[in-house]
Amino acid sequence: MSLLNDGRDHVRFKTFSRRSLILSGGTLALFSGLLARMYQLQVLEQDRYATLAEDNRINMELLAPLRGRILDRFGVPLATNRQNYRVILIPEQTDSVERALDRVSQYIILGAPQREKILKEVRRNPRFVPITVAENLSWEEFAAINFHAPELPGFILDAGETRDYPYADKLSHILGYVAAVSEKDLADPDPVLRIPGFRIGKLGIERQVDPALRGKAGVRQVEVNASGRKIRELSRRVGEPGDDVVLTLDMEIQKFAQARLAEEAAACVVMDVHSGDVLALVSNPGFDPNEFNRGISHASYQALLSDPKLPLINKAIAGQYPPGSTFKPLVALAALENNVISPETAIHCSGATWLGNHAFHCWKKGGHGAMNLIGGLKHSCDIYFYELARRLGIDRIEEMCHRFGLGETFKFEVPGEKTGLVPSRGWKQATTGQSWQQGETLITGIGQGYVLTTPLQLCVMTARLANGGRKVMPHIFRSVGAESHVRPEADLMGLSDRALQLVMNGMNAVTNEGGTAARSRIDIEGFEMAGKTGTSQVRRITREERARGVIKNEDLPWERRDHALFIAYAPVAAPRYAISLIVEHGGSGSKAAAPPARDIMLLTLQRDPSRMEAIPPIARARRGTEEG
């Protein structure tokens, strides 16, 4: 019995020993793994986890950089930054957000939609997150709230920076505006776009060079607690301001041109015929870009959209108009270059010419009699140019148009440029499925029919006529940051000097030898201007209207009146500047377009320092009185 018990005890001992060994080994392995993991965490990966722990305590926040300025050629600020007075609410520091808004409404206006937006932001965020209640406050509003700050618990008063356009509607189509970043804009990886409230260029030059203007974000470190509340600021690195952009514009000319056109729906372009510098680019009426920066109301935006004078359209580069008689110098040049006529070729104008059974009328009832090249331009004889177009054919007119920039864009720096339209046989066949007709060539010869141009194209056309046939290109940037945008001298287009001079002589006769713009001549020696008037029809005059007497423009509804146009260069002896001007539904070019163009051109010449001494003192005093 004793032997049997000893055997059983021995078996139990062996079993216990084995289990103890297994348990001990497992425990050792567990502790070894734990020690290895602790070594990994505390020694091998110490830096990584220290960083993660620090990130839970310290937040990095981006700071909006100061946007670069836009300046005119003399350094006058056109778009800059100003203080943005804001009121910010911290909901947790108030007993009731609605009562807090009631209290602050005693000093600033908070409309129902604005209040609802604020309350929505409060509901969406933790109560310690600051909410912008109002911004772009006037100094008076900001001062009033500051005075009553002790009565407004929970409100923080802040002065940041925002975009400002000191000339408002005078440059709206050129500069454009900035507005809040949209979801579509976030496709740009630039981190600065993620800054709350950051604004980027949405139109015009603000959009065209936005990456250069926006600058680079700064950074600040703030300590936060476990719930994300900011405790204190630890460090701050200010961002890099955006680059300044210098334009070729002369703000004095721009302002004067805008004022001279008053309430007209109009456009005007002034440029240097040699360099291509655009000194003025006016589209009237404009709009206030500051409204878009602040957040334009639905009612205000709808008013802009429904305005018949189309203030949102940049008429100078996107308005497309029949050029009317301002097109005739180009037809005359094409005729001379292709030896279709000589300067002395006489064409008789009786007031109408016939093609088959269709009559084509001259603007002067009864006609002009015998016309040569100079006379045809001087008196703007339609019959003379009908005949030139008939002899040339549409193909040669089209070719000359493209040489002078019509039907093309110039890669101009202000976005939105339109091509206009230079009609051709191929274009008509592709567009209408019909063949080109000779009658269409005739009306193209006087700048009517299908042909369309922009004021910028007409100014470039005039500049290329006046500079000896050089292919000058318009531009509006002088520099972006340190990068200069001055362009090299333009290439010659291979035109005959004699043909160009004959056309320029004809334009000189228009203003200085009793032509259609004689009343708008500049009578200061050395400042004489050569030009060409134009009146383009927006409606077809029927046979019945001619029979009973065509209704005068001033007796028609505004939208049915003719457009008034004028192109010019000056001085005649040594051309330096070109101008194009259109007054929508203004009627006669000689009455509505030539007088303001003359005044703008004279100021442009006066602004040229090299010419100022040539202006007689009495004439300078007279100009100062007229401008005032």
CA distance 508 to 66: 50
Taking all residues of the chain, what is their mean pLDDT, rounded to a whole number? Answer: 85
**Rounded average pLDDT over 126-141:** 78
Give the per-residue pLDDT at 549: 59
Q: What is the pLDDT of residues 208-265, one digit of tens each?
A: 999 999 988 887 777 766 555 556 767 777 778 999 999 999 999 999 999 999 889 9
Please give the residue that has the higher pLDDT: either 110 or 499: 499
As given in the structure block, the two tokens for residue 222 are 């703030």
Q: Taking a C-beta distance cutoff of 8 angstroms, is the pair 579, 602 a contact?
A: no
- Lowest average pLDDT, out of 135-144, 261-270, 562-571, goes to 135-144
Global confidence as pTM: 0.80
CA dihedral (311, 313, 318, 322) positive or negative: negative
CA distance 319 to 453: 8
Residue 453 has pLDDT above 70, yes or no: yes
CATH of domain 61-247: 3.90.1310.10
Give the per-residue pLDDT at 62: 74
CA distance 398 to 445: 11
Q: Which is catalytic among the residues 275, 325, 536, 590?
A: 325
Residue 543 has pLDDT above 60, yes or no: no
Q: What residue spans in the chain does CATH classification 3.40.710.10 cover?
A: 251-297+316-627
CA distance 335 to 599: 32
> If pLDDT is split at 50, 70 and 90, which confidence band does 380 have?
very high
> If pLDDT is split at 50, 70 and 90, which confidence band does 160 have?
confident
Residue 628 has pLDDT above 50, yes or no: no
Residue 358 has pLDDT above 70, yes or no: yes
Give the per-residue pLDDT at 58: 72
Say which CATH architecture domain 251-297+316-627 belongs to.
3-Layer(aba) Sandwich (3.40)
590 catalytic residue (yes or no): no
CA distance 453 to 221: 56
Strand, helix or coil for residue 290:
helix
Partner residues linked to 192 by β-bridges: none
Q: Taking a C-beta distance cutoff of 8 angstroms, is the pair 68, 243 a contact?
A: yes
Q: What residue spans in the chain does CATH classification 3.90.1310.10 cover?
A: 61-247
Q: What is the pLDDT of residues 75-111, one digit of tens each?
A: 999 999 988 787 888 888 888 888 888 888 888 888 8
Phi-psi region of 315 (alpha: psi -120 to 50; beta: other; left: phi over 0): alpha
**Of 627, 582, 583, 584, which Cα lies nearest the Cα of 603?**
627
Rg (CA), the chain: 37
Q: What is the pLDDT of residues 7-47, one digit of tens each?
A: 556 556 566 566 677 777 777 777 777 777 777 666 666 66
Please give the residue that has the higher pLDDT: either 462 or 119: 462
- Which residue bears the tokens 């209207």? 545
CA distance 213 to 469: 36
Strand, helix or coil for residue 626:
helix
Q: What angle do CA 576, 582, 584 make, to 5 degrees?
A: 170
Give the per-residue pLDDT at 346: 95
DSSP for 437-475, written as a single string: -HHHHHHHTTT-TT-BB-HHHHHHHHHHHHTTSB----B
> If pLDDT is split at 50, 70 and 90, which confidence band does 625 have?
very low
CA distance 159 to 310: 36
Q: What string of H, E and C letters represents the secondary structure of 3-70?
A: HHHHHHHHHHHHHHHHHHHHHHHHHHHHHHHHHHHHHHHHHHCHHHHHHHHHHHHEEEEEECCCCCCE
Residue 480 has pLDDT above 60, yes or no: yes
Give the per-residue pLDDT at 620: 41
How many CA atoms are closer than 13 Å to the CA of 297, on its beta-carbon side?
6
Q: What is the pLDDT of residues 590-602, one digit of tens each?
A: 999 999 999 999 9
